[in-house]
């Protein structure tokens, strides 16, 4: 069997997606997600100009060898663009292997360790009543775990807080539907960490008051605190028994988490912007985190993400794979197969794809009663409707960025 062609498909059904489609000489095809929010075309070019020419003629069955070839022969390793490109190839080859074996991917990864994957959804509000309504909406939709993000008094738009329907984004979709906003320039948001640190504990106190002690609650600090600020927030949130506090501080400096861990027992999740196992090594080896947040699309694919969770398992660290709308249905499918097959599964983030995206990416995975299942279709279980994809040309879009009151650029 030989790869005869590989196509890079860029489409924008409510948001931009980059997909690699590999075709083998017997006509079997495989899909891979290469979507890097706000930098999509960089990965598309990396694939088109540098990777696709190297794939044609290769044996699609040699997944690990192809991964090592793409990672090592590039000489320039790691980084979000490179690893998203390699991820797409890896996913597509696993898709082909599943179709050839006539098995869903999770069966090739060792079979199911559970009947479904518990998911968490994104509730948010500009006020407590709006937040409570959003939590109820998500519970009514089946979610049994809820991420809580809230507006901050004195600040305008902040990460994760849906614009109510009235002031929704250009497509009429909720703000938290996708943080990347179409346009030629990124939106600037004001940020004030002290105001945030004063407000968030009051919100979790109110949510626990309203919904009781059992509902698993998650919160995303979205990389905005210094280590000591993160330690403080983790500590004051302890009475509200969070499932996790995510990305509490930028973790390029992994040692920074030692200070956080020293001061709080609130479980910590990190890693959605990480691209290789090296980014996690100290965090896992020193038990500085409890969940790995890597996503298959940004971590180089199924093959390295499996190695990461196997390493994490030695330290009782569990998976919490990143699953916002900028992970395409192809990427979501791939990590659901992996999540079903691993023992140390923790929880799966799930922002449902839009109706337009689901029409372009017809997917076998399903969300029922708060749990996800990848389906039992051979391979990943996603078919790309290229005619439909052609209806949605790429549109420039950027993630917002943040500035402090004195104008300093801050982590968004
Ligand atoms: C977020 C993401 O879902 C999350 O946990 O951190 O929404 C993140 O902001 C986006 O994926 C950025 O593209
Ligand atoms: Mg996050």
Per-residue pLDDT of the chain (412 residues), as tens digits, is: 999 999 999 999 999 999 999 999 999 999 999 999 999 999 999 999 999 999 999 999 999 999 999 999 999 999 999 999 999 999 999 999 999 999 999 999 999 999 999 999 999 999 999 999 999 999 999 999 999 999 999 999 999 998 654 444 444 455 456 788 999 999 999 999 999 999 999 999 999 999 999 999 999 999 999 999 999 999 999 999 999 999 999 989 999 999 999 999 999 999 999 999 999 999 999 999 999 999 999 999 999 999 999 999 999 999 999 999 999 999 999 999 999 999 999 999 999 999 999 999 999 999 999 999 999 999 999 999 999 999 999 999 999 999 999 999 999 9
Given this model, what pLDDT does residue 172 score?
47
In angstroms, what is the span from residue 308 Cα to ligand 1's centroid? 20
The stretches of 21-62 forming alpha helices (DSSP H) are 40-45, 52-55
Give the distance (Å) from ligand 1 centre to CA of residue 325: 8
Does the CB atom of residue 30 touch ligand 1 within 6 A?
no
- Which ligand is closest to the CA of 147, given by its number? 1
Residue 178 and residue 15 in contact, taking contact as beta carbons nearer than 8 Å: yes
pLDDT reported for residue 179? 82
Nearest Cα residue to 211 out of 286, 287, 148 = 148
Ligand 1, pocket-test mutation among 159, 179, 332, most atoms within 8 A of CB? 179
3-state class of 32 per DSSP? strand
Mutate to test the pocket of ligand 1, among 272, 298, 353 (most ligand atoms within 8 A of CB): 272
Q: What tokens appear for 399 in the block?
A: 């993630």
Between the CA of 41 and the centroid of ligand 2 the distance, in Å, is: 22
| Binding site membership of 176 for ligand 1 (Cβ less than 6 Å) | no
Best probe residue, ligand 1, of 187, 189, 324, 327 (max atoms within 8 Å of C-beta):
324
Of 58, 46, 210, nearest to 127 by C-alpha is 210
CB of 326 shorter than 6 A to ligand 1: yes
**Helix or strand holding residue 104 (H, E):** none
| CA distances for 380 relative to 134, 236, 363, 386, 389, angstroms | 32, 42, 9, 17, 19
Query: Which residue's CA is the closest to the ligand 1 atom numbered 6?
Result: 222
Which ligand has the shortest distance to the CA of 297? 1
CA 224 to centroid of ligand 1, rounded, Å: 13
b/e per residue 377-404 (b: at least 16 CB within 10 A): bbbbbbbbeeebbeebeeeebbbbebee
Nearest ligand to residue 398 Cα: 1
Enter the DSSP assignment of 366. Answer: E
User: What per-residue confidence (pLDDT) applies to 176?
Assistant: 55
In three-state secondary structure terms, 121 is strand
Q: Are 104 and 337 spatial neighbours (Cβ–Cβ below 8 Å)?
A: yes
Query: Which pLDDT score is estimated for 34?
Result: 98
Atom 12, ligand 1: residue with shortest CA distance: 37
Q: Which residues pair with 372 in a beta bridge?
A: 117, 367
DSSP code of residue 238: G
Provide the whole-model pTM: 0.96
State which ligand 1 atom lies nearest to the alpha carbon of 176.
7
| Residues involved in catalysis | 159, 222
Which protein residue's CA is at the shortest distance from atom 9 of ligand 1? 179
CB 220 less than 6 A from any atom of ligand 1: yes
Q: Residue 280 class from Cβ within 10 Å (0-12 exposed, 13-18 middle, 19+ buried)? A: buried
Other beta carbons less than 10 A from residue 172's beta carbon:
9
> What's the gap in Å between 372 CA and the centre of ligand 2?
19
- In angstroms, the CA 309 to CA 343 distance is 9
The CB of 324 under 6 Å from ligand 1? The reply is yes
Half-sphere exposure of 191 (CA within 13 A, CB side): 22
Query: For atom 1 of ligand 1, which residue has the closest CA?
Result: 324
- The whole-angstrom separation of Cα 125 and Cα 302 is 35
Atom of ligand 1 nearest to the CA of 247: 6
Q: Please give the distance, rounded to the nearest whole angstrom, from the Cα atom of residue 31 to the centre of ligand 2.
A: 25
Q: Which residues of 209-237 are buried (b: 16+ CB within 10 A; e: fewer)?
A: eebeeebbbbbbbbbbbebebbbbbbebb
With beta carbons less than 8 A apart as the criterion, state whether 98 and 378 touch.
yes
């Amino acid at each position: 069997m030989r790869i005869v062609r590989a196509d890079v498909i860029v489409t924008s059904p409510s948001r931009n997606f980059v997909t690699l489609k590999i075709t083998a000489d017997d006509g079997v095809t495989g899909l891979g997600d290469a979507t890097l929010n706000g930098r999509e075309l960089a990965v598309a070019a990396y694939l088109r100009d540098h990777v696709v020419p190297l794939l044609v003629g290769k044996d699609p069955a040699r997944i690990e060898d192809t991964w090592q070839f793409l990672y090592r022969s590039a000489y320039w390793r790691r980084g979000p663009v490179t690893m998203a490109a390699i991820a797409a190839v890896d996913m597509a080859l696993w898709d082909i292997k599943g179709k050839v074996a006539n098995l869903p991917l999770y069966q090739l990864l060792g079979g199911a360790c559970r009947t479904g994957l518990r998911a968490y959804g994104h509730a948010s509000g500009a006020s407590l009543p709006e937040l409570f309504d959003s939590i109820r909406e998500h519970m009514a939709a089946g979610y049994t775990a809820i991420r809580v993000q809230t507006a901050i008094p004195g600040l305008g738009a902040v990460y994760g807080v849906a614009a109510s329907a009235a002031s929704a984004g250009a497509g009429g979709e909720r703000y938290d539907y996708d943080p990347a906003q179409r346009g030629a320039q990124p939106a600037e948001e004001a940020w004030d960490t002290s105001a945030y640190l004063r407000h968030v504990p009051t919100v979790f106190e109110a949510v626990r008051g309203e919904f009781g002690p059992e509902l698993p609650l998650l919160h995303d600090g979205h990389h905005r605190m210094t280590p000591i600020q993160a330690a403080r927030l983790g500590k004051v949130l302890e009475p509200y028994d969070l499932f996790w506090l995510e990305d509490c501080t930028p973790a390029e400096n992994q040692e920074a988490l030692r200070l956080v861990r020293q001061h709080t027992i609130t479980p910590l999740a990190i890693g959605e912007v990480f691209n290789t196992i090296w980014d996690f090594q100290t965090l896992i080896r020193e038990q500085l985190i409890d969940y790995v947040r890597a996503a298959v699309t940004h971590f180089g694919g199924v093959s390295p993400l499996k190695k990461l969770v196997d390493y994490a398992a030695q330290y009782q660290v569990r998976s919490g794979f990143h699953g916002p709308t900028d992970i395409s249905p192809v990427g979501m499918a791939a990590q659901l197969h992996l999540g079903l097959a691993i023992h140390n599964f923790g929880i799966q983030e799930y922002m449902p794809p839009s109706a337009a995206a689901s029409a372009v990416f017809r997917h076998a995975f399903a969300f029922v009663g708060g749990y996800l299942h990848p389906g039992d279709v051979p391979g990943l279980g996603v078919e790309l409707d290229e005619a439909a994809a052609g209806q949605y040309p790429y549109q420039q879009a950027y993630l917002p960025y943040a500035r402090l009151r004195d104008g300093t650029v801050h982590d968004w």
